[in-house]
Amino acid sequence: MAVMIVRAAKLPAAAAGNTFTDRTAISEWAQSAVASASASHVIDGYSDGSFKAQANATRAEAVTVIMKALKK
């Protein structure tokens, strides 16, 4: 989802975003998009500091991300 929203919203590239507790689970090909989305605060992760890259996004999470991206 991070890759799609970064491309669709044309978010600026970021060298680093949030340091998620489960950052090793983020695929290498998605790391720059996750950094960009988190640096732009479009995707903030979970309250426990994780990103949960291998989990499915809920409809509510998808709507939240889209709404945040539209405001950028």
Which residues 6+ apart lie within 8 Å of 16 measured at CB? 35, 39
What's the pLDDT at 20?
94
What's the pLDDT at 5?
96
What's the pLDDT at 34?
94
Q: Is the Cα dihedral 40, 9, 59, 27 positive or negative?
A: negative
Instruction: Point out the residues of the chain with pLDDT beneath 50.
Output: none
pTM of the model: 0.87
What's the pLDDT at 41?
93
